[in-house]
Amino acid sequence: MTISYAQPPFAVRADIVAAHQQAWSRLAHPGTWFSGAARLAIAAEVRHAPQCALCLRRKQALSPYGVDGGHDNLGVLPARVVEQIHRIVTDPGRLTRTWFDGVTASGTPDTEYVEIVGVVATVVSIDTFCRALGVLPHALPAPISGEPLRRRPRTAHQRGEAWVPMIHPKDLEGELETPEEQKLATYWGGVLANIRRALSLVPEEAYAWFQLVETQYLPGRWMRDFANEYRAITHAQIELIAGRVSVLNQCFY
User: Contacts with other proteins in 96-155 (CB under 8 A)?
Assistant: 96-98, 100, 114, 117-118, 120-122, 124-126, 128-129, 131-134
Binding of residue 10 to other proteins (CB under 8 A): yes
Tell which positions 193-252 bind other proteins, by CB under 8 A: 193-195, 197-199, 209, 212-213, 215-217, 223-224, 226-227, 231-252
Instruction: Evaluate whether 172 touches 184 at the Cβ level (below 8 Å).
Output: yes
Between residues 96 and 145, which has the closer beta carbon with respect to other proteins?
96
Count of residues in the chain = 253
Give alpha helix (H) positions in the chain.
Answer: 14-28, 36-48, 53-60, 79-90, 97-105, 110-133, 179-188, 194-197, 203-216, 220-223, 235-248
Instruction: Evaluate whether 27 touches 17 at the Cβ level (below 8 Å).
Output: no
Instruction: Evaluate whether 194 touches 188 at the Cβ level (below 8 Å).
Output: no
Minimum CB distance to other proteins, residue 72 (Å): 17
Between residues 145 and 244, which has the closer beta carbon with respect to other proteins?
244
Contacting residue, 24, 34, 163, 188, with other proteins by CB under 8 A: 163
Tell which positions 34-93 bind other proteins, by CB under 8 A: 88-89, 92-93
